[in-house]
Amino acid sequence: MASPLPCKWSGVFPAATTQFDESHNVDLAATKAVQAALIRDGVHGMIVLGTVGENNSLNADEKRAVLKAAVETSAGNVPIIAGVSEFTTPTAAAFARDAERIGADGLMVLPAMVYVPTPAELEYHFRTIARATSLPIMLYNNPPAYRVNIDLATLGRLADQPNIVAVKESAPDPRRFTDIYNAFGDRFVLFAGLDDVAFEGFCLGAKGWVSGLTNAFPKESLALYDALKAGDLDKARKIYRWFMPLLHLDAEHDLVQTIKKVRQHLNPRLEIEGLLRTMYDPRNTLAQQVSAQLQQHFGEKVYRTVIPRNIRLAEAPSHGLPVLGFDKASKGAQAYLALAGEMLNRAEAGAVGA
């Protein structure tokens, strides 16, 4: 068994969504905004172009553009791990080389799509990609979704490939964490890959969590991780039990649509933060036209200080868990948000001041 490359990956790594415009083209600006918001919220790393990132819905140029956007957005603050999900081994190896050139910090490699491989074919696929790059690699095991299991014998044969350093384990049976550890010790860094098995995964030795629902609930996900890392199982159980109905969504076949819908509708904090960034952005001429009217409506002091401060304070938890929205925001802040959103929509429709 070869000594692996050093791997310090740990913590919460959201599988970031890819955003599209109304014509179904990749919206890089919106995608970068999602990535930046997750980094600001304190995630420890980010997976782009995974299942939640809709890798196989993108063409080759779009994949590389999304990865480049993530590398630029992170600017070295968190590791960016690129999903490798292709129909053939040569195209996967080509993407791995390009990902290294673009600046990715690592790769999350899936089996080749569509056709179920034999163990020998699966090993060949992973090993060929690993030899095409010097980047550290996380293997992605998800038998329910991809109809192939990375069995222990295959992992054992791949253990001599030094840049295969981690396994994202998305089998629904948490015994896999113990089986892998018993077979290989610390050879592979383990990541929980199903949101509704994250607690069990961490308790059984996982160092990290590749999460879908973190897109919508980053602070809640980080609170769960922090409690587990601190050994506060009572707090971790409280968060996990509260979170579980949402975490189950990550295991459904329509997880991408559902996670995006949850992000949009169940966590208005993200939309509100986006609106605030727009309204207080001096480079946005249209927003500034609306801002001038809002400032006149609310008064300069309220507009510049009180409203933004109250909106930020509305995030403070009163029960040890992050709040889900802004129901506790002041009436002035709520009025601002409602009026700002309405006026900006009107302005974008060409009806400023109408």
Tell me what the mean pLDDT of segment 113-140 comes to. Answer: 96
Confidence check: pLDDT of 123 > 90: yes
Confidence check: pLDDT of 290 > 80: no
Domain spans of the chain? 11-265, 268-348
Distance CA 201, CA 177 (A): 7
- Look at residues 181, 172, 166 and name the one whose alpha carbon lies nearest to residue 149: 172
Beta pairing class for 164-169 and 46-48: unpaired
Tell me what the mean pLDDT of segment 182-199 comes to. Answer: 97
The token duo for 145 is: 């979704």
The confidence score (pLDDT) of residue 149 equals: 93
- Tens of pLDDT, residue by residue over 221-254, are 999 999 999 999 999 999 998 888 888 888 777 7
- Tens of pLDDT, residue by residue over 148-189, are 999 999 999 999 999 999 999 999 999 999 999 999 999 999
Distance CA 339, CA 346 (A): 11
Q: Nearest 5 degrees, angle CA 6-CA 111-CA 168?
A: 45
Which CATH superfamily groups domain 11-265? Aldolase class I (3.20.20.70)
Chain CA centroid to CA 354, Å? 40
User: Quick one: DSSP state of residue 53?
Assistant: T
The token duo for 48 is: 């782009």
Please give the positions annotated as active site: 140, 168
Average pLDDT score over the chain: 83
